A and B are shown apart, each in its own frame.
Chain A
Amino acid sequence: MKKVAIIAANGGLFDAYKVFNIATAAAATDAEVGIFFTFEGLNLIHKEGHKNLEVPAGKEHFQEGFKKANVPPIDELLGMAQEMGVKLIACQMTMDVMSLEKEHFVEGIDVGGAATFLNFASDADVTLTF
C-alpha cells in the first residue's frame, strides 16, 4: 500500500483545497494518508474555523468560480477524508502556543508532535507540504 504524508502549514481556503483534494484523491486510490496540521494549518480542522476559511485578499471573485465548478465545501471534503480513514494529526506545540485544546477541533483527530509525524512520514512514498 502506498503511503502519503502531508504537512498543512497554511490556513486559507485555497490551502484547504490543496490539502484535502490531494488527501481524498490519495485515499480513494487506496493510499494510507496522514496530514500533520501545524501553525495556521490548524484552521483547516478547527471546529468552526474550517467552515469559514478566508479567501486571499483580492481573490474574492474566485468564490463564484468555486460555486460554478460545483467544488464541494471544505467541511464536506474534510468529512469525506475522515470517512476514508485519512489520519489527521494536530501539532501539539502550535496548539500550546495558540492556547487551543483538542476540544476546539473536529472529532476524531490525533494530537502529536513533530516526531509523531516524522514517524508516519519516514516510510511514505509521497510527502507534500502546503
Chain B
Amino acid sequence: MEVTVNKVLDAKGLACPMPIVKTKKQMTELEPGQVIEVQATDKGSTADIKAWAESTGNQYLGTVEEEGTLKHYLRKATPEEEKAETKHPHVTSLDELSSKVDGDEKFTILDVREPAEFAFGHIPGAKNIPLGELEQRFEELDQNGEIHVICRTGNRSDLAAQKLTEKGFNNVKNVVPGMKEWSGKTNNNQ
C-alpha cells in the first residue's frame, strides 16, 4: 500500500521505549496536520503507538506490515479541529449523506483529508483532494455538480467548502461531523 507522508522515521531494530521516544521527538518538528510514517520492528509498537497517540491527542491512522516491518501512520492533530466549524452556511449530516450514497442521484463526495488518512478508510467513490491542494486542483471538480465535502471532524471540510464557494461553486455542502463518526461502508487502499 502506497501512503503519502511528510516524514519517514526509521525506528527499526529499536526496543521499547525507543520507538515512542523517537516518534515524540520527530512529531514536535512536524507542522499540525502533517503525517508521519514510523517504521518499527518492535512487536509491541503497534499497541504503544496507538496508546501514545491517544494520550497525546494525535491521530493514529493505521499500521501496515510489510516484510517484517511495521509501518505506523500518525497525523499531528490540533485541538482546534476537534470542533466542527460551521462557517459555511450549507451543512448536511452523516445520515443524510448515507441515504444519498444509497440513492441514484449523481453527486460528488470530496474528501479533503490527507492521502494517508484517506488510504486507511474512505467512503467508496469519494474523491481525495487534501485541503492544502484544493487551491491548485479545484478545477478537477465539476463546478455545477453537487459536492459534499467531508474530512475527519468537519473543520477542514468547512474551510474547503468556503474556498469552493469563493471559486464560484454554488452547490457545496459541508458534511458534519465527518469520517470520525461515519459508520457506513468504507474502502481502503490496501
User: Which residues of chain B from 20 to 44 have any CB-CB distance to chain A below 8 Å in the complex?
Assistant: 20-21, 23-25
Mask: chain B, 43-55; 1 = CB below 8 Å from A; 0 = not:
0000010001001
Cβ of B14 within 8 Å of any chain A Cβ, yes or no, is: yes
Cβ of B132 within 8 Å of any chain A Cβ, yes or no, is: no
On whether the beta carbons of A30 and B18 are closer than 8 Å, the reply is no
Main secondary structure, interface of A, reads loop
How many residues on the B side are at the interface (Cβ–Cβ under 8 A)? 15
Cα–Cα distance between A21 and B56 once the two chains are bound (Å): 18
On whether the beta carbons of B55 and A70 are closer than 8 Å, the reply is no
User: Which residues of chain A from 78 to 112 have any CB-CB distance to chain B below 8 Å in the complex?
Assistant: 80, 84
Binding site for A on B (CB under 8 A): 13-18, 20-21, 23-25, 48, 52, 55-56
Binding site for B on A (CB under 8 A): 2, 21, 24-25, 27-30, 69-72, 80, 84
Would you list 18 pairs from A and B whose C-beta atoms are within 8 A, ordered by A residue? A2-B55, A21-B16, A21-B17, A24-B17, A25-B16, A25-B21, A25-B48, A28-B17, A29-B20, A29-B52, A29-B55, A30-B55, A30-B56, A69-B15, A70-B14, A71-B15, A84-B21, A84-B24
